[in-house]
């Protein structure tokens, strides 16, 4: 592998904004990327599940990656390039690399439910062919199959497989992957905002985060405090963000986060079918959570002021 990425810190899983005709709103996308970079995030992850990659064409997928790369100055861009078809994932990965992505995030093959050897073959095929740091993404609630710790450890030995996005909800399993890859140059990142602090506590390096789209400063402050060993400050921020963590998953992601982005003025809440808008009842709840966060700005200021 010729290049590496520091996979510690906060990496927002970006939304893909759409205009009234359900076309990609590239101006808003680039403005949002710049907002997040200015807020202090450590990298950006476009066209993942939160970016509605399932409803984008391959050409749109690459155009979003290119637009985000062009918008930012000094943060790595990790392109979602996974698929349940190994050939398709390889094509998306190669095109993302050609577009200038710094790394790749690859969801495990969904719906097919491959056996563990199928996961190994899938990821190693792409890692052998594309010379970029790659993150294996385990999210059984979406894919229907779990990447077992033995499989994650085997994949960690590949020089181009640099990390593991953990969204199984099983902290014991996540901790085992951390424990068994300590001798590898391998990062374990939380893929579940509510578990980011616990994952960091067992040796995780950061988070690929939904909430960071809405509260990047607080999320960065929380993760930064934990990585510095200041768990008292990290817990304070975790508890401040707790209502947001829960509300952003009150309906299927990215429905609530896109609504939150609209409430905050960061981008439209429009979705491509079959995704729908947040219900009125849940929007009212989300508005209350966001208002409460706006009324409590002190934790970030305290975190930034601490040595």
Active site residue ranges: 137, 165
47-57 burial, b at 16+ Cβ within 10 Å, e below that, comes to bbbbbbbeebe
Strand partners, 80: 105
Spatial contact of 108 and 118, defined as CB atoms under 8 Å apart: no
> What angle in degrees, to the nearest 10, is found between the helix axes of 149-156 and 171-180?
30
Spatial contact of 38 and 71, defined as CB atoms under 8 Å apart: no
Residues 6+ apart with CB under 8 A from 187: 7, 8, 135, 162, 163, 164, 204, 205, 206
Closest CA to 148 of 127, 122, 117: 117
Closest CA to 171 of 147, 151, 190: 190
Within 10 angstroms of residue 183's Cβ, the number of other Cβ atoms is 7
Spatial contact of 82 and 89, defined as CB atoms under 8 Å apart: yes
CA-based angle 273:275:278, to the nearest 5? 135
């Amino acid at each position: 592998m010729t290049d590496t990425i520091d996979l510690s810190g906060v990496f927002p899983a970006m939304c893909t904004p759409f205009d009234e005709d359900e076309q990609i709103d590239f101006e808003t996308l680039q403005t949002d990327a710049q907002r997040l970079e200015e807020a202090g995030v450590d990298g950006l992850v476009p066209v993942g599940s939160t970016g509605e990659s399932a409803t984008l064409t391959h050409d749109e997928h690459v155009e979003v990656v290119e637009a985000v790369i062009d918008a930012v100055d000094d943060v790595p861009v990790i392109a979602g390039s996974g698929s349940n078809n190994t050939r398709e994932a390889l094509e998306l990965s190669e095109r993302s690399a050609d577009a200038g992505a710094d790394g790749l995030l690859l969801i495990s093959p969904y719906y097919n439910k491959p056996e563990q050897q199928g996961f190994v073959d899938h990821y190693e095929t792409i890692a052998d062919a594309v010379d970029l740091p790659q993150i294996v993404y385990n999210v059984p609630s979406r894919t229907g199959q779990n990447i077992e710790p033995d499989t994650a450890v085997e994949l960690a030995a590949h020089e181009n497989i640099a990390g593991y996005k953990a969204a199984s909800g099983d902290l014991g399993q996540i901790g085992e992957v951390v424990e068994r890859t300590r001798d590898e140059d391998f990062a374990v990142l939380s893929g579940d905002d509510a578990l980011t602090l616990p994952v960091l506590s067992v040796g995780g390096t950061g988070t690929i985060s939904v909430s960071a789209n809405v509260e990047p400063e607080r999320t960065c402050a929380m993760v930064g405090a934990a990585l510095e060993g200041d768990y008292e400050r990290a817990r304070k921020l975790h508890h401040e963000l707790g209502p947001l963590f829960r509300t952003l998953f009150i309906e299927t992601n990215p429905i609530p986060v896109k609504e939150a982005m609209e409430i905050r003025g960061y981008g439209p809440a429009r979705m491509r079918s079959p995704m729908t808008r947040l219900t009125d009842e849940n929007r009212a709840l989300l508005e209350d959570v966001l208002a409460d966060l706006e009324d409590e700005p002190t934790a970030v200021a305290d975190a930034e002021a601490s040595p």
